[in-house]
């Protein structure tokens, strides 16, 4: 099992052996504890528009990751996230915005 901290700085290549970038940030779903995206630029709190731009143009969906080792290999032949956005889960008014705060591993097991 790999820790999230080990992903930072890894080179990302697509399945056509083209360099995509380096892992700069890891985006987690706080409700499930799973990795959702890897970004090649930092997500700084500069502006909402800039953050959206980085998520749209400078990131890869983790579901497209084929392998992680000394490098990250992403499939689908795409350089960066050009696939349609993942739908956010519908929330009922009684749900908290960020879900329960629990430490979880990448496999979703509670520690």
What's the CATH code of the domain at 60? 2.30.30.240
Determine, yes or no, domain membership for 29: yes
Of 76 and 87, the structure prediction assigns the larger pLDDT to 76
Q: What pTM was computed for the model?
A: 0.66
In this prediction, residue 108 has a pLDDT band, given cuts at 50, 70 and 90, of low
The residue among 71, 100, 75 whose CA lies nearest residue 15 is: 75
Structure confidence at residue 77 (pLDDT) = 55
CB 80 within 8 A of CB 63: no
Residue 93 lies in a domain: no
Q: Identify which has the larger pLDDT, 90 or 15.
A: 15
Helix-strand-coil percent breakdown of the chain, rounded to 5?
Answer: 15, 30, 55
Q: Is residue 81 part of a domain?
A: no
Whether residue 105 is contained in a domain is answered as no
Tens-place pLDDT, residues 37-74: 999 998 876 788 888 888 888 999 999 999 999 999 99
pLDDT value at position 39? Answer: 92
**Is residue 102 in some structural domain?**
no
Residue 96 placed within a domain: no
Task: Note whether residue 33 is domain-resident.
Answer: yes
Number of domains in the chain: 1
Whole-angstrom Cα distance, residue 48 to residue 111? Answer: 33
pLDDT reported for residue 13:
95
The answer to whether the Cα torsion of 85, 21, 37, 39 is positive or negative is negative
Structural domain harbouring 32? 4-74
Any domain includes 39: yes
CB 33 within 8 A of CB 102: yes
């Amino acid at each position: 099992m790999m820790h999230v901290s080990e992903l930072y700085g890894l080179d990302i290549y697509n399945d056509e052996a083209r360099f995509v970038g380096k892992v700069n940030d890891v985006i987690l779903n706080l409700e499930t504890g799973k990795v959702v995206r890897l970004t090649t630029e930092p997500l700084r709190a500069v502006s909402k528009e800039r953050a959206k731009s980085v998520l749209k143009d400078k990131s890869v969906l983790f579901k497209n990751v084929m392998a992680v080792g000394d490098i990250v290999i992403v499939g689908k032949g795409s350089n960066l996230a050009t696939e349609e956005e993942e739908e956010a889960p519908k929330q009922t008014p009684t749900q908290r915005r960020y879900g329960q705060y629990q430490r979880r591993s990448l496999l979703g097991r509670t520690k």
